Amino acid sequence: MKKYVITCLLGLFCASSLGQSLEIMVGHEGLFADAQWLKFLDEKKHVSIFSRTRATVNYENQTNLFSGAYLNYTLKNGLGASLVGKIGNSGAGADAGIHIFTAKKNWMLFGLASMGLQEEFQYSWFSIFRYTPRITDEWKFYSSLELFSLFESGNHLISVQRIRLGMDYQQFQFGIASNFTEIGENWTGRTNVGGFIRKAF
Going by pLDDT thresholds of 50, 70 and 90, the confidence category of residue 120 is: confident
Going by pLDDT thresholds of 50, 70 and 90, the confidence category of residue 91 is: confident
pLDDT of residue 18 exceeding 70: no
End-to-end CA distance of the chain: give it in Å, rounded: 29
Which one has a higher pLDDT value, 186 or 4?
186
Asked whether residue 3 is assigned to any structural domain, the reply reads no
The residues near 85 (Cβ < 8 Å, ≥ 6 apart) are 68, 69, 92, 93, 94
Q: Residue 40: name the closest of 28, 49, 31, 27 by CA.
A: 49
Going by pLDDT thresholds of 50, 70 and 90, the confidence category of residue 7 is: very low
Asked whether residue 25 is assigned to any structural domain, the reply reads no
Q: Return the pLDDT at 6.
A: 45
Q: What is the DSSP letter of 104?
A: -
Asked whether residue 28 is assigned to any structural domain, the reply reads no
Which one has a higher pLDDT value, 135 or 12?
135
Asked whether residue 6 is assigned to any structural domain, the reply reads no
Q: 132-159, pLDDT tens digit by residue?
A: 999 999 999 999 999 999 999 989 999 9
Q: 189-198, pLDDT tens digit by residue?
A: 999 999 999 9
Asked whether residue 8 is assigned to any structural domain, the reply reads no
Q: Residue 66: name the closest of 77, 52, 78, 76 by CA.
A: 52
Asked whether residue 110 is assigned to any structural domain, the reply reads yes
Asked whether residue 132 is assigned to any structural domain, the reply reads yes
* Distance between CA atoms of residues 33 and 65, nearest Å: 10
Asked whether residue 126 is assigned to any structural domain, the reply reads yes
* Distance between CA atoms of residues 91 and 77, nearest Å: 35
Number of independent structural domains in the chain: 1
Give the structural domain span for 186. Answer: 37-56+66-195
The pTM (predicted TM-score) of the whole model is 0.87
* Distance between CA atoms of residues 142 and 171, nearest Å: 10
